[in-house]
Amino acid sequence: MSPLTSGHAHAVCVDQRRPLSGLLCLVLLMLFTCGVWHLTRGLTVWTFEDWRQQQIAEGSLQAQEVSVKGFTPSWPWPHTRSDANARIYLVDFIYTRCPTVCRALGSEFQQMQSALRASTEPSSKQVRLVSMSFDVAGDDVPVLNAYAAQMRADPQWWQIGVPASQADATALLRSLGVVVIPDGQDGFVHNGAIHVLNAHGRLLGLYEPGQWREALNAAYRFARSAKGVAL
């Protein structure tokens, strides 16, 4: 075979491979696009908090009932029994040594406690505040009691507790999509928010720090509706 003929054959082989490479790229692009579409719920969800809001809209997040230390009186939480005293809970997840978002949320819970005490809204009597620590090892009952005293938490309105075991804590956090990651400096990175739950633990709303008034008004609305009673 002459060099010219050989070069021509090589060119033909290259040309035959190019359509295959293009087809492979097209297939990979389609698979990537389908994956993004699925993970972002049709390009509507781009962050983890967006995903949680989507799950709330679908009614898919419900707190795992766990044994809790620190509540007065002590009881499993959230309540699963349906009765005339069904309540709406405004909940944050904290650890008492947290110097940032937990302190900010603590200040907002103080303001919500004051608002509940002074409220003439009939449904306010069905709303309660819960600060749930996820630091099972560090936040024992004496530490929680000291934190409650520091925050001036009135147990009639605001309970502060910690799951009885690490397994309970993990189950509760996972059930509500709460992310907690050790930061390597004796603390945690976690998503801070005000969660609105009904008496059965169904997550009804999610509010960022700074939106305590909106969260409280939502709790009143849910307390007046069927969502706050029997879901």
Distance between CA atoms of residues 94 and 103, nearest Å? 9
DSSP class per residue in 137-183: TT--HHHHHHHHHHHT--TTTEEEEEESSHHHHHHHHHHHT--EEE-
Homologous superfamily of domain range 54-228: Glutaredoxin (3.40.30.10)
Residue spans of the domains in the chain: they are 1-39, 54-228
User: CA gyration radius for the chain?
Assistant: 26
pTM: 0.75
Sign of the Cα pseudo-torsion (187, 190, 195, 201, in order) = negative
pLDDT of residue 23: 54
The SS3 call for residue 109 is: helix
* Torsion angle (degrees, nearest 10) of CA 213, 218, 219, 221: 130
Contact 202, 226 (CB under 8 A): no
What does pLDDT average to in each consecutive run of 10 residues of the chain (231 residues)?
Answer: 46 49 55 40 54 82 93 76 67 93 94 96 92 96 96 95 96 94 89 92 94 96 71 39
Give a three-class secondary structure readout of 16-65.
HHHHHHHHHHHHHHHHHHHHHHHHCCCCCCCCHHHHHHHHHHCCCCECCC
Of 8, 60, 102, residue with least CA distance to 203: 60
